[in-house]
Amino acid sequence: MMIKDTYPVAAGDMTVAGDVSARIKRQMKRLGIPSDIMRRVSVCTYEAEINLVIHSMGGEIEFEITAEDIIVRSRDVGPGIPDISKAMTEGWSTASNEVRNMGFGAGMGLPNMKRNADEFSIESTVGVGTNIVMTFHI
Ligand SMILES: Nc1ncnc2c1ncn2[C@@H]1O[C@H](COP(=O)(O)OP(=O)(O)O)[C@@H](O)[C@H]1O
Ligand SMILES: [Mg+2]
C-alpha cells in the first residue's frame, strides 16, 4: 500500500480551515490505520493546516504512506519563521487579535506537532517559506 497525496491549502480562509486534515483522517480510516497513529497524525496535519491558513501565503500538505511510515509534509510560501526555537516555545504566537478571537493562535501548534510525531523537522527561510516534515512509524 503506497500512497502519496498532495492537498493545496489556501491562505486566509478560516471557513475551510481543517478540511484537508479531515480528508486525510477519512483516508486513514478507510485504510484501517491504527487509532493511536491516526489520532497523532490528525493532530499534526490539523495544526500544520491551520498554520498555513493563518501564517503563510498558501501552501500544501502532502500525505504519504510507505511500508513502515506515514509521512506528513507541510510546505508554504510565506514570511518564514525568523527564530524557530522561539516559535517552538509553548504559548508563543504572532497570531493577530482577529485570529485569536476566532479561537486560534494559542501558540501550541508547533510544540504539539513535535510531541505527536515520531520524527519532526522544520526548516524556514525568512521571506521565502517554511517546510515541515513529520514521520510516524506504523
Ligand atoms: N507556516 C508558518 N509560516 C510562518 N510562520 C509560522 C508558520 N507556522 C508557525 N509560524 C510562527 O510560529 C508561531 C508559533 O506557531 P504555533 O505553535 O502553531 O502557534 P500559533 O499558530 O497558535 O501562533 C506562530 O505564531 C508564527 O509566528
Ligand atoms: Mg498554529
pLDDT in tens, 71-98: 999 999 999 999 999 999 999 999 999 9
The class (CATH top level) of 3-137 is alpha beta
Q: What is the pLDDT of residues 108-119, one digit of tens each?
A: 999 999 999 999
Share of the chain above pLDDT 70, in %: 99
Coil vs helix vs strand at 14: coil
Q: Residue 14 — very low, low, confident or very high, per pLDDT cuts 50/70/90?
A: confident
Q: What is the pLDDT of residues 30-69, one digit of tens each?
A: 999 999 999 999 999 999 999 999 999 999 999 999 999 9
Instruction: Give me the residues near ligand 2 (ion), CB cutoff below 5 Å.
Output: 51, 109
If you ran DSSP here, which 8-state letter would residue 9 be given?
Answer: E
Ligand 1 atom closest to residue 112's alpha carbon, by position in its atom list: 17
CB-based contact 6:60 (threshold 8 Å): yes
Please tell me the predicted confidence (pLDDT) of residue 2.
Answer: 86
User: Does any ligand 1 atom lie closer than 6 A to the CB of residue 58?
Assistant: no
Query: Phi, psi at residue 51, to the nearest 5°?
Result: -60, -40
Please tell me the predicted confidence (pLDDT) of residue 1.
Answer: 67
pTM of the model: 0.97
Cell of 114: 513535535
Helix residue ranges per DSSP H, 56-89: 84-87
Among the bound ligands, the one closest to the CA of 127 = 1
